[in-house]
A and B are shown apart, each in its own frame.
Chain A
Amino acid sequence: MTAVVEARGLTKHYGATRALEDVSFSVEAGRIVGLIGPNGAGKTTALKAILGLTTFTGELRVLGLDPCRERDALMREVCFIADVAVLPRWLRVSQALDFVEGVHPRFDRTVAENFLTKTDIHMASRVRELSKGMVTQLHLALVLAIDARLLVLDEPTLGLDLLYRRSFYDTLLNDYFDKQRTILLTTHQVEEVENLFTDVIFINHGRVALNAAVEDLPARYQQLNLAAEQAERARALQPFYEREVFGRVSMYFEGRTAEELGRYGELRTPSIADLFVAKMQGNARP
């Protein structure tokens, strides 16, 4: 199966700032990929390149197309929510449906209408009258109704309360995702959505810090929780990051086995959020 996104040596400089530096990764069809990184790490630049919204050097194919030169064709197959509240404030809900129906060949209005009837959003309301959560619901309704092969979400739930966030991702998973579709998602709230991802890509300082399928993580990364007095001996196995909380030490290892680590303490697979912190902090240390 050909990759949905294939990036090789993706590079983008804004003046002296290196937003992306020789970034390579690929995204297979039917995956939910988390693009995770601290602020200013280059996530949004990478997404913009994928969506043909910015120039870059290097090779990039999205659904087999060049996002810069073939953007118009690409947008029939790709959907994106760039941020919350980018829907124009003057737009009425019914007009939003009319517009997308009028320009998008793959939009199924009944899907959007069915979804909206389950919310408190009225057809005659303008976007400016809706709460932030409702605007996102409206945008989600539009996206759900578009039969796209790739959905790109850049911080789609930023600034929403927990109930809206939870229902957003539930809807995405239950009503939208299937094995033909691919979702590329950036978020700061990693803890909340880490069960969603099939793959994670960590980006830091414009470079890929980690790129792995979630199912491969247990074999690659280990978290060892041990008493402080055991720590010195375990350090011989070269953890790439460690932290101490209430006298207990958590160490993070790459490529160690249970036999090597098990005798020092309690062994577990790190959560994606913990792994992210470990990777970012660990790599930052000299």
Chain B
Amino acid sequence: MSSTLADTAGEGPRSDTTPTAAKGLIETLVTLVRRELWEHRALWLAPLIVAGLLALCAAIGRVHMQVEDSAVIHGEAQRVAVFTIIQAVLAIPLYLVAMLVAGFYLLDCLYAERKDRSILFWKSLPVSDALTVSAKMLVALVVVPLGVFALALVAHLLFTAILGARVLFGTLPPIFSWSTYEWARTETVMLLVTVLAVLWYAPLAAYLLLMSVWVRRGPMLWATLPLVLGPVLEWVAFGTRHLMDFINYRINGIWWLLGVQHTQLITKHEVRAVGTALGVLDFRGVLTSIDLWLGLAVAAALVYVTIRMRRYRDDS
């Protein structure tokens, strides 16, 4: 326990110029988001892998086309429409896998830090519970959706380049044509739907986060149990299915409100460009729906409860 001169001199004087003010909010948030992506690598790995598989399909996949279908695809307008449909359909698996990993992420993030006892390390740093929880919502509701939107965009360009090359070499019939205007319109549809879906699913995300901070073990089980048991109990007790309808509505309601069923892109006689959905889908109706805003209010309340619960949560 002896202190030698060499030891103390070796370190040099500590700088007294360390800033005492709090780090900027943006810098802290960026750090918190990076930390989430370090820990939960599935958030970006899983969509990337799916995108890679899709590109592989584009390169080696065979196109089976029925004669009647190919007969329909005559003329430039039809080929542009096919092009936009490829653009939209390609995005679907990416969005599905992103929603899945984001859901698992929300269920796990506040549970994992207690399970591996790292919560006391995170809490030893000047980051408030509000900021920590907000960063996790930010990852699930902003970073992942915008990330998958960008990934879908890049994947589609890659896909188009591969298919284009195959058409050029004659190994694929010329079934599609590039149109920058329709491309931009399709991207617009996807961005608008993404934003509205994020707003609609925010309470569900907050529910998963609350389960993650709440349960002592098995967050997966505890999160799904009330959703399954509730409707069953209601049906047994009262013979009604209000809860079931409600859960169904909170999961699928946005697609009814948007009126997805009215967008008939592929009919027997023609193929319509995805951009036509801009005139069909009821974006305004969703935004002015009281259910959307009630859901957001519930999400805010659940996030608040989550923050309060993390306050006195530790490893014990």
A91 cross-chain contacts in B, Cβ below 8 A: 38-39, 118
Nearest A residue to B40, CB-CB: A90
Q: Is the CB of B126 within 8 A of A108?
A: no
| B120, closest chain A residue (CB) | A82
Contact flag A106-B18 (CB < 8 Å), given A86-B120, A175-B11: yes
A111 at interface by CB-CB < 8 Å: yes
Question: Within B121-163, which residues are at the interface with A (CB < 8 Å)?
Answer: 121, 123-128
Give, as a whole number of angstroms, the nearest-CB distance from B25 to chain A. Answer: 11
B124–A80 touching, CB < 8 Å: yes
Which residues 11-26 of B sit at the A interface, judged by CB distance below 8 A? 11, 14-15, 18-23
Q: Does A114 contact B (CB under 8 A)?
A: yes
The reply to whether A105 and B23 contact each other, CB–CB distance below 8 Å, is: yes
Cβ of B124 and Cβ of A108 under 8 Å apart? no
* A7 within 8 A of partner (CB): no
- Smallest beta-carbon distance B307→chain A, Å: 12
> B residues within 8 A CB of A119?
none
A87 close to B312 (CB less than 8 A): no
Q: Which of A85-135 contact B (CB under 8 A)?
A: 85-92, 95, 98-100, 102-108, 111, 114
A91 and B116 CA atoms in complex are apart in Å by 12
Contact B14 A48 (CB under 8 A): no
Question: Of all chain A residues, which has the CB nearest B118?
Answer: A88
Among B2, B3, B123, find the residue whose CB has the most chain A CB atoms closer than 10 A. Answer: B123
Residue of B nearest to A128 (CB): B116
When distances are taken between beta carbons in the complex, the residues of chain A under 8 Å from B19 are 105-106
Contact A99 B31 (CB under 8 A): yes
Most interface-central of B120, B126, B315 (chain A CB within 10 A):
B126
Q: Are B314 and A72 in contact (CB under 8 A)?
A: no
Separation of A62 and B262 alpha carbons in the complex (Å)? 63
The one of A51, A92, A105 in contact with B20, judged by C-beta atoms closer than 8 angstroms, is A105
Complex Cα–Cα for A198 and B124 (A): 25
- The residue of chain B having its C-beta at the shortest distance from the C-beta of A78 within the complex is B124
Chain A residue with Cβ nearest B27: A102
B286 to chain A, nearest CB (A): 37
Known: A72-B128, A86-B118. A169 touches B1 (CB 8 A): yes
Q: Do residues A76 and B7 form an inter-chain contact, with CB atoms below 8 A?
A: no
Query: Are B4's CB and A102's CB within 8 A?
Result: no
Q: Interface size on A (CB < 8 Å)?
A: 46
Task: Name, among A87, A88, A98, A107, the residue most crowded by chain B CB atoms within 10 Å (CB to CB).
Answer: A88
Q: Mark A143-173, 1 if CB is under 8 A from B, else 0.
A: 0000100000000000000000000011001
Assembly CA distance A263 to B252 (angstroms): 91
- CA–CA, A193 and B1, complex, Å: 8
Residues of A contacting B125 in the complex (Cβ-Cβ under 8 angstroms)? 75, 100, 103-104
Q: How far is the CA of A114 from the CA of B10 in the complex (A)?
A: 10
Residues from chain B with a CB closer than 8 A to the CB of A80 are 120, 124
Instruction: Tell me whether B31 and A86 are in contact (CB under 8 A).
Output: no
Q: Is the CB of B1 within 8 A of A104?
A: no
Are B128 and A53 in contact (CB-based, < 8 A)? no
CB of B113 closer than 8 Å to a CB of A = yes
A195 within 8 A of B: yes
A244 CB-CB contact with B under 8 Å: no
Kindly state whether residue A196 has any CB partner on chain B within 8 Å. yes
Q: Tell me the residues in window 1-59 of chain A with beta carbons closer than 8 Å to chain B beta carbons.
A: 48, 51, 53-55
B123 contacts A83, C-beta separation under 8 Å: no
Q: Are A175 and B7 in contact (CB under 8 A)?
A: yes
Q: Do A196 and B126 touch (CB < 8 A)?
A: no
Contacts of A88 in B (CB 8 A): 39, 113, 116, 118, 121
CB distance from A6 to the nearest CB of B (A): 21
Task: Tell me if B8 counts as interface (CB < 8 A to partner A).
Answer: yes
Instruction: Digitize A65-86: 1 where CB-to-B-CB distance is under 8 Å, 0 elsewhere.
Output: 0000001110110011111011
Cα of A79 to Cα of B18 in the assembled complex, Å: 16
Pairs across A and B, CB under 8 Å, 25 listed: A48-B314, A54-B314, A76-B20, A79-B124, A80-B120, A81-B124, A85-B117, A86-B117, A87-B121, A88-B116, A88-B118, A90-B39, A91-B39, A91-B118, A95-B35, A98-B31, A100-B125, A102-B23, A103-B23, A105-B126, A108-B14, A174-B7, A175-B7, A175-B11, A195-B1
The 4 A-B residue pairs with the shortest CB-CB distance in the complex, in nearest-first order: A102-B31, A88-B118, A82-B120, A75-B126
